[in-house]
Structure 1
Amino acid sequence: MRASRLLSILLLLQTRGRMTARELAERLEVSVRTIYRDVESLHAAGVPLYGDAGPSGGYQLLEGYRTRLTGLTADEAESMFLAGLPGPAAELGLGSVVAAAQLKLKAALPVELRDRAERVQERFHLDAPSWYRERDELPFLPAVADAVWNQRVIEVRYRRWEAPHLVTRRLEPYGLVVKAGRWYVVAGSGGQVRTYRVWMIQDLHPLDEHFTRPADFDLAGYWRGYLTAFAARLHQGEAVVRLSPRGLERLGSLITPGMETAARESAGEPDADGWVTAVVPIEGVDVALGEFLRLGGEVEVVRPVELRRRLAEVAAALTRFYGEERVSATSSASGGRFG
């Protein structure tokens, strides 16, 4: 554990430059006294590390010093070759850059770690986008990424779901997120932090001004909060349903998040046919109607009554269209052309 921490200090100073003992302690979740002892150990090992006192002081490596990557564990080396998703990197225009970086990393690894890394690439392929949808066309993604990196203000024409459908927005882009193969830009706009889907940007103009990214903005933390709030907005009600074993398995394919988990947690004992009664979240009657229709005869809605009534109406209409009498009449009227 201590050897790993010493290597972490070395790599942090190599990549971040000057850091105080307190900054190192907070980053590595140890005491400042522990950092002092670790620095002494690095000195004793011959690492060209020096420290300056005072408010602007801190520890720093001698300029030009670089460590080799021989401190990587086998698991760490393998994870590096799972981290660079080829799809998102290519969409950002960085596909060749990621490939070159992995090649250089592989060349720097000891032979035994290089072999394990190559096996990872041979045996694991990560495909982030979901099934049954085409990849988004993203002509403005590189420009958004450039604005994020250079803290440049952009003006976009954006298509929304609600009216007015086309709006113009001035954005200060703080970061990019890829979720299930879809890109989102998190940006300051009108004094608030908002989320925009990059695919829905219709036009983009970089402006001749820059912004200061909030020092305390945490992209990962913001995204976790955004997903929690998004799920809360979706869960506007609940439905009591009876599910067959197959219906329970298929809940995970529906749009409303958490439906399968909620069903399994609330499900009672299976009846003689394996059906269970459960309580699941729904976004609303209209959305739930379409979702439960996808399960066909594998689900029965008990409540709310309005949703049950709407499903019964759709089932009755389908019976009128596809009932045996109508099929026979349609076949006769067409002169048997389809038989």
Structure 2
Amino acid sequence: MKIDRLVSIIMVLLEKERIGAQALSEMFEVSLRTIYRDIETINLSGIPIRSTPGWGGGFEILSEYKVDRTVFSSSDLATILMGLGSISTMLTGEEIVNTLAKVKSIIPTEQAKEIELKSSQISIDLSPWRGNANIHTYLGLIKTALQKQRLLSFNYSDRYNNISTRTIEPYQLVLKDNHWYIHGYCLEKQDFRLFKLSRISNLEMLTDRFIQKDFNKQLSEFSDTMTQKQKNIKLRIHKSIMDRVLEYCSYDHFSQDSNEHYIVEFPFIDDEFGYNIVFGFGDKCECLAPENIRAGIKQRVQNMSDIYANEF
């Protein structure tokens, strides 16, 4: 929208001492003629912009024009920049770039280095080391559908690999335990459902718009259900995988068993995902109790052994 672009241009000009028309044209993906019209509109609105021709020239806001930049403290600005920076690793888009420009524009020059240092002290990178290449694309498409209130259609594979076609009204993107989910109203089930993005394929944004329902579903409801299913099992682990096990529980779950081993009260959900977590610890881990979980692990190990017992 033009008004968004005008505001963004103002913020860019506040941030930079001088910027050329060509740079603005490329930044906002519009023609030079459009940029010149935008600058004229900003001038007419009462914000004085000076144009300097020639090499090194460009547009700049007159230094006499003052903007109150004292609304936020340096710590506030550092926290905002840190949060925006973490979001931008996964959710790209012009609005995030514009928001970053707006925030940076209100940073007093004398505090710029201090705020930059504070904002870089904690780095939150949500992008995966590796994984499903579609997820990044899907995030952008879902974000657009959320903003435009458009229906989403996709194929969904459940934990048993049963595939169904779903159409949903999207309401919320959720990042939980390094996994992305979309919370939406499923037209097939006539209820709110949580869908894991890694199980989605052929995602498509439809032209149909929807009228938003009252949405008061919180992620805590999903977490409460998972907590109810969870129970502790007893593992004996080698000290070499202690750091990996600590990703799922704290030090107070550990007790020394020998110089080389620990006994761990490990939080576990009795499904394939839970078993796969335990298998991920390899031969450095043994399930001691309860017996039904130990038997479940033994059966899965036997099934795997049978597969590899057959020669090609």
Tell me the TM-score normalised to structure 1 length. Answer: 0.56
Separation in 2, partners of 1:252, 1:130: 20
Cα 1:213–1:295 shift into 2, 3 Å: same
Cα 1:121–1:191 shift into 2, 3 Å: same
CA drift of 1:167 comes to 1.5
Which AA in structure 2 matches 1:177?
V
Q: When the two structures are aligned, how many residues end up with a matched partner?
A: 237
User: Structure with the greater relative contact order (CA < 8 A, sep ≥ 6): 1 or 2?
Assistant: 2
Do structure 1's residue 192 and structure 2's residue 181 form an aligned pair? Answer: no
CA drift of 1:196 comes to 2.0
Do structure 1's residue 167 and structure 2's residue 161 form an aligned pair? Answer: no
Give 1:20-169 correspondences, 5 Å limit. Answer: 68-85=68-85, 88-89=87-88, 92-94=91-93, 96-120=94-118, 124-152=122-150, 154-161=151-158, 162=160, 164-169=162-167
Find the structure with the greater CA-based Rg: 1
Separation in 2, partners of 1:92, 1:301: 40
Match of 2:285 in 1: 299
Structure 2 residues without counterparts, runs of 5 or longer: 1-65
Cα 1:114–1:149 shift into 2, 3 Å: same
What does the per-residue CA deviation read over 1:80-113, in whole Å, with 9 as the maximum and x for residues that have no partner? 1101136x5365441x432333233222222333
CA RMSD of aligned residues (A): 3.7
Q: Partner of 1:144: helix, strand, or coil?
A: helix
Which AA in structure 1 matches 2:239?
P
Cα 1:168–1:296 shift into 2, 3 Å: closer
Separation in 1, partners of 2:176, 2:242: 25
**Contact 2:234–2:266 (CA under 8 A) maintained in structure 1:** yes
Separation in 1, partners of 2:258, 2:162: 53
Cα 1:183–1:276 shift into 2, 3 Å: closer
CA drift of 1:70 comes to 0.7
Separation in 2, partners of 1:109, 1:136: 37
**Contact 1:302–1:308 (CA under 8 A) maintained in structure 2:** yes
Q: Partner of 2:181: helix, strand, or coil?
A: strand
Which AA in structure 1 matches 2:266?
V
Tell me the TM-score normalised to structure 2 length. Answer: 0.60
Match of 1:260 in 2: 249
**Contact 1:138–1:198 (CA under 8 A) maintained in structure 2:** no
Match of 1:336 in 2: none
CA drift of 1:226 comes to 1.8
Cα 1:241–1:112 shift into 2, 3 Å: same
Separation in 2, partners of 1:184, 1:142: 13
Match of 1:32 in 2: none
**Contact 1:129–1:181 (CA under 8 A) maintained in structure 2:** no
Cα 1:98–1:286 shift into 2, 3 Å: closer
Structure 1 residues without counterparts, runs of 5 or longer: 1-65, 254-258, 322-339
